[in-house]
Amino acid sequence: MRAVLQRVTHAEVTVEGETVGAIDRPGLVALVGVTHEDGAEQVAAMARKIGELRILADEQSVLDAGAPVLVVSQFTVYGSTRKGRRPSWSAAAPGPVAEPLIEDLVAALVAAGVEVATGRFGAMMQVSLVNDGPFTVVVDV
Which are the catalytic amino acids?
Answer: 74-76
Pairing of strands 18-23, 2-15: antiparallel
**First-to-last C-alpha distance (Å) of the chain:** 6
Pairing of strands 27-33, 69-73: parallel
Collapsing DSSP to helix, strand or coil, 32 comes out as strand
Looking at the DSSP bridge assignments, the partners of residue 130 are: 10
Residue closest to 118 by CA, chosen among 44, 46, 42, 20 = 20
> From CA 68, how far away is CA 62, in angstroms rounded?
7
> From CA 72, how far away is CA 133, in angstroms rounded?
20
